[in-house]
């Protein structure tokens, strides 16, 4: 909710398109874009009293599609349920934008090539709870997953996309089918190239290259942009930006949140008024 009282959503049409692609990959009927958007907007309107302002947090919207037909065979369901629920959430960073500590795991993989890693499916999240929990017990915010084939290239940070700033370029792992095509990921690439005039690259990033980057951060719906202050790889801590928020990371965060919070010009027409 903006300071002027307007209720806004960030790129809901992109979420609708991704949900449709996910349904197709999981042998489910695609949710029509108009149905998806109408349902999401209606639930937000019905819960307008619970939407915090931008300083307090946001109203998180969670659409879910699941099979609910009778039968126990290994086959697509005969019926499906589409549900949208919302929940007020506080700021991701309780003390403002702050760097996080991550650890690279060699014991677990997030998703293999040619699997369903590129789908926003619950099956991609449940397996990550154990490695994430183990990381948190060691004092880290999340784990960094490497590719399942060579265990050499960075894939994702928990449920967020990974970015590195190297020689003034914004670099993120290419979408190979095992990486979720994040809406925030796409938005950052557009802002970096179109608004900030930076070079962008979508390609494989080896863990060794990432550890020599000038800045690193991760991005997703909840955190928006989370600066990475350190990465533990094979028992050694690697510090970035002197453990502070990197200059380019901060600029990207400021530009993106200005659009989302209504304090900056929405040149890309990403915000939808409810």
The count of other CB atoms within 10 Å of the CB of residue 239 is: 13
Query: Distance (Å, rounded) from C-alpha 261 to C-alpha 245?
Result: 21
Query: Distance (Å, rounded) from C-alpha 22 to C-alpha 27?
Result: 9
142-170 per-residue burial string, b: 16 or more CB within 10 A, e: under 16: bbbbbbbeeeebbbbbbbbbbbbbbeeeb
Q: Is 42 left (phi over 0), alpha (psi -120 to 50) or beta?
A: alpha
- Bridge partners for 219 per DSSP: 161, 225
Q: Among this protein's residues, is 195 annotated catalytic?
A: no
From 94, 120, 137, 195, active-site residue:
120
Query: Distance (Å, rounded) from C-alpha 178 to C-alpha 241?
Result: 29
Q: Are strands 100-105 and 142-146 parallel, antiparallel or unpaired?
A: parallel
Task: Map tokens 């086959």 to a residue.
Answer: 75
Active site residues: 120
């Amino acid at each position: 909710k903006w300071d002027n009282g307007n209720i806004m959503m960030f790129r809901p049409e992109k979420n609708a398109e991704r949900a449709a692609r996910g349904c197709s990959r999981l042998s489910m009927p695609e949710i029509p874009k108009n149905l998806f958007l109408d349902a999401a907007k209606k639930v937000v309107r019905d819960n307008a009293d619970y939407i915090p302002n931008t300083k307090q947090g946001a109203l998180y919207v969670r659409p879910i599609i699941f099979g609910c037909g009778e039968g126990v065979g290994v086959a697509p369901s005969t019926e499906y349920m589409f549900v949208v629920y919302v929940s007020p959430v506080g700021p991701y960073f309780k003390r403002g934008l702050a760097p996080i500590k991550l650890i690279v795991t060699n014991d677990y993989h997030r998703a293999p090539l040619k699997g369903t890693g590129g789908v926003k499916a619950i099956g991609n999240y449940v397996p990550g709870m154990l490695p994430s929990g183990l990381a948190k017990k060691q004092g880290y915010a999340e784990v960094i997953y490497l590719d399942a084939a060579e265990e050499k290239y960075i894939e994702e940070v928990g449920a967020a996309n990974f970015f590195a700033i190297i020689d003034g370029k914004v670099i993120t792992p290419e979408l190979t089918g095992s990486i979720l095509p994040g809406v925030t990921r796409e938005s950052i690439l557009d802002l970096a190239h179109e608004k900030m005039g930076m070079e962008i690259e979508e390609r494989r990033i080896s863990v060794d290259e990432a550890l020599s980057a000038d800045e690193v951060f991760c991005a997703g719906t909840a955190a928006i942009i989370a600066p990475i202050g350190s990465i533990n790889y094979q028992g050694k801590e690697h510090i970035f930006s002197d453990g502070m928020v990197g200059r380019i990371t901060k600029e990207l965060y400021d530009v993106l949140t200005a659009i989302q919070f209504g304090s900056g010009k929405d040149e890309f027409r990403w915000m939808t008024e409810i």
